[in-house]
Amino acid sequence: MGYPYWSLSQWLKRRVKEAVKAIDRFEESLAHEALRGGYDGVICGHIHHAEMRDIGGVTYMNTGDWVESCTALVEHPDGRFELLDCSVRDRLATPPAQPVPA
């Protein structure tokens, strides 16, 4: 057919790695700006991956997303932050279905 070899899996792998690197750079840039501004942390959302972590002395928090991963970030009255994963909580709270006799 005259076309050179092309691997879909290699192409996808490369694109995913590029996306992960871009997100990492974005998070590190935010943490740097927060530190420069004298802030303790930064809260973001909608990157689809909920997390709380330290980046160079700045607390980075991402809410994830509610639609696909059912995650949220809450602040307790004492100032603590917590990531909620409602999909796990709902699975644990729902009893398994019982078979129905025929």
For 79, list phi and psi in degrees, rounded to 5: 95, -10
Which helix (H) or strand (E) segment holds residue 31: the answer is: helix 8-36
Predicted model pTM: 0.70
**Domain ranges across the chain:** 10-93
Q: pLDDT tens-digit profile of 36-90?
A: 999 999 999 877 789 999 999 999 999 988 788 889 899 999 999 999 988 765 5
Given this model, what pLDDT does residue 43 score? 95
- Residue 67 DSSP label: T
Helix (H) or strand (E) holding 89: helix 86-93
Kindly state the tokens that stand for 102.
């025929």
